Amino acid sequence: MEEVELKRILWRSRRGLLELDLQLERFVAEVLPTLSEAELALYGDVLLLPDQDFLAYVNGAVACPNARLVPMIERIRAAQR
């Protein structure tokens, strides 16, 4: 992935909700650099979710209805442990 696109993903990882920013902080620092291009593309799709929905999925309060996004949401959740 090009450096410009990676920077765009990093920028989009900064969200409007502090709670979500805190959830993503460790994932972005520790896991994001290890992702394959396909995984980065999937993470980019996850970043398109509205903040409230994204937070609910990461917290496990609501199941994500898009089965394709679930593995990445679970990786984000696992980074919090």
Residue 24 tokens read as 């993503």
The domain segmentation of the chain, as residue ranges, is 3-78
List, for residues 1-18, the tens digit of each pLDDT value. 678 888 888 888 988 888
Class of 3-78 in CATH = mainly alpha
List, for residues 60-77, the tens digit of each pLDDT value. 999 999 999 999 999 999
Report the predicted TM-score, pTM, of the whole model to 2 decimal places. 0.89
Distance CA 10, CA 67 (A): 24
Dihedral sign (CA 37, 70, 75, 56)? positive
First to last CA, the chain: 28
Distance CA 75, CA 27 (A): 8
Neighbours of 58 (CB within 10 A): 23
